[in-house]
Each structure stands twice: as structure tokens, then as C-alpha cells.
Amino acid sequence: MATNHSSRDSLFRTFSIAGSWLWLGLFALLPTVVLLLVAFLDRGEVGFFIPSLTLDNFRELFGPVFLSVLGDSLRLALLSTLVCLLVAYPFAYALAKANPRRRPWLLLLVIIPFWTNSLIRTYALILMIGAQGMVNKLGLALGLIDVPLEILYTDFAVFAGMTYTFLPFMILPLYASMEKLDPSLADAAKDLGAGALRTFWHITLPLTLPGVVAGCILVFLPSLGCFYIPEILGGATNMLLGTFIKNQFLVAKNWPLGAASSSVLTLFLVLLAVLYRFTSRRVAANMPLRASRNEE
């Protein structure tokens, strides 16, 4: 009976792992590898690329055009990530500390926006911040402003749109790591005379670091490559990385350069994944015995 059970278990295991391998291999690994290969090819006259090897595409990444695009995108993505973190950390903390009966409802409120397409929510933002949007109408009605503020089609609008769209990606991993937090550790710190700030700095923050890193990755990468928010809310006057890549494929018909520039995104992804592994290992290694036994 027992052996039968375990062999069925291992069959299920093989099947489900094979499924994820298949999925990731077909839809994540294969396209990335193909894209990387295209980045080394030359731009074709009639085709999208021709099979002649070159490093020109990577050389172009060091040209002034791409560097300024990358610089602008990095600045915006870092700023959005930082603001998301500052807003989401206390939010997730309050969520984790909330009454367990109320918690699922609060979580639901974070998740509900996910059920609406983010493109639609981005268009909805126009109704809020446009020249005849709610913010301006309210400001005019209250006499706070005389002429409508120019919010839409500015860098601020792009930043606000990204922060709004990606905030849940920061809240959820933070919440997950805070929920696991053992309250007795904070109690022990208090008993030993640590103040609230000290407890936070030495106990809470280090233990939630994997959540912080995961949340930052989940916000930073999409905001670095996102093209529809800058196009809809920013008016496409400042080109960002996502639009640049999209244009190489659709407008300039320069697939190799598009592939090379998107490999920059892949590079960031790999670097951040390594960082995540590093921090979660460090946290696991430094964790007190009892907490790490719970992890096993």
C-alpha cells in the first residue's frame, strides 16, 4: 500500500515537473535563445535578418541614441521601484498584522485590479489626469487652479502610471515574506530591550529582505521594458527602452538591433535573479535555528 502510494506520487511528480519544463522550455527558454541568436545576425535587405554573423548590433548599443534611451528608462524604472517599495512596505506590514478575519478581504482589494486589463486601467488614468479629467475638474471647481494642469503626456504621468500599475507586484511578495515572520522573534528582541526601530532594523528588515528583492525585481523589470504606459500616458515624446525595442521590430524593421537591445533586458533579469538567490541564501543562513527548521 505504502509503496504503491509513493510510486504514484513520484509519477505525479515527474509529470508535473515535466509539464513545467515543457512550458518554460517552449515559451521562455527557446524564444530567448532564438532572440539572442538573431542579435548576432546582420540586418537583411528584404528579409528581417540574414545569416551573416556580426557584432555591429551590440556596438550600436554603445551609441549615444541607445545609451540615452537606456539611461532615461533606468532612471524611471528605479524611481518607480523605489516609490513602490516605500508605499508597499508599510502597506504589506499593516496587511500582515491585520485581523486574520479581515485579511482575505484586504488582500482581495489588492488583487481585484489584476482582473481588469492593465491597458484599460491605463486608459482610465487619462480620464483622471487629462485636461478635462477629474483631477483638473475638481481643482477648477474648488478654485485651486485657473487653467487645467498639464499632467497627461508628461514624465510624471508615466511615472504615476507605472507606480500605480506595478504596485501590487511589490505588495504581494512583501506580504508573503512578512506573513512568515515569526512574531516571537520581535517579542524576544523587545524583551532583550531593543526599541521598535532597532527591532525593525535587526529583525524585520533582514528577514523580509527576500520579499524586498523579489518585489523590486517584479516592479523594476516590467517598468524597464514597458512600452504601452509611456506611449499612452507619456505621449511618446521621450523614447524609452520598450518603445525603442518595439520600433526596431515594427517600424525600423531592424530585428537584429531589436534583439540585441532586448538582450539588455535579459541581462538585467539574470543579474537580478542572481541577486535574489544570493539574498535569500544569506537570510536562510543567518536565520535563527527555530525559524530555519520551520522552513525545512
CB of 273 to other proteins, least distance (A): 20
Total count of residues recorded for the chain:
296
Stretch binding other proteins (CB under 8 A), from 32-40, 93-101, 236-244, 282-290: 236-244
Among 251, 285, 293, 296, binds other proteins (CB under 8 A): 251
- Do residues 262 and 41 lie in contact, with contact meaning Cβ atoms separated by under 8 Å? no
**Which range of residues in 162-170, 200-208, 239-247, 261-269 is near other proteins by CB under 8 A?**
239-247
Is residue 166 a contact point for other proteins (CB under 8 A)? no
Sites for other proteins among residues 71-130 (CB under 8 A): 126, 130
Q: Assess 22 for contact with other proteins (CB under 8 A).
A: yes
CB 268 within 8 A of CB 81: no
Reduced to 3 states, what is the DSSP secondary structure of residue 42? strand
Q: Is 228 in the site for other proteins (CB under 8 A)?
A: no
Handedness of CA 142, 144, 148, 149 (dihedral sign): negative
Element (H, E) at 279: helix 255-286
Q: Is 271 in the site for other proteins (CB under 8 A)?
A: no
Rg of the chain in Å (alpha carbons):
24
Identify which of residues 149 and 194 has a Cβ nearer to other proteins in the complex. Answer: 149
Closer to other proteins by CB, 194 or 236: give it: 236
Q: Where are the beta strands (DSSP E) in the chain?
A: 41-42, 50-53
For 39-57, b where at least 16 C-beta lie within 10 A, e where not — what string? bbbebeeeeebeeeeeeeb
The answer to whether 153 contacts other proteins (rule: CB under 8 A) is yes
Task: Please identify, using beta-carbon distances, which residue of 153 and 159 lies nearer to other proteins.
Answer: 153
Residue 53: CB minimum distance to other proteins, A: 22
> What is the separation, in whole angstroms, between the first and last Cα of the chain?
27
14 contributes a contact to other proteins by CB under 8 A: yes
Candidates 239, 245, 259, 260: give the one binding other proteins (CB under 8 A): 239
If one asks whether residue 27 binds other proteins (CB under 8 A), the answer comes out as no
Handedness of CA 212, 218, 220, 223 (dihedral sign): negative
Q: What amino acid is encoded at 136 in this protein?
A: N
Point out which span in 9-17, 173-181, 191-199, 261-269 binds other proteins (CB under 8 A).
9-17
| Binding flag, residue 156, other proteins (CB under 8 A) | no
The values of phi and psi at residue 258, to 5°, are -60, -40
Given candidates 6, 8, 25, 134, which one binds other proteins under the rule CB under 8 A? 25
Provide the mask over 274-293, with x wherever binding to other proteins is found by CB under 8 A and - wherever it is not: --------------------
Residues whose CB falls within 8 Å of the CB of residue 227, separated by 6 or more in sequence, listed in order: 240, 242, 243, 245, 246
Binding of other proteins by 48 (CB under 8 A):
yes
- Which of the stretches 19-27, 184-192, 198-206, 215-223 binds other proteins when contact is defined by CB under 8 A? 19-27
DSSP string, 47-78: SS-EEEE-SHHHHHTTSHHHHHHHHHHHHHHH
Q: Which residues bind other proteins (CB under 8 A)?
A: 14-15, 17-19, 21-22, 25-26, 46, 48, 65, 68-69, 126, 130-132, 148, 150, 152-153, 235-239, 244, 247, 249-253
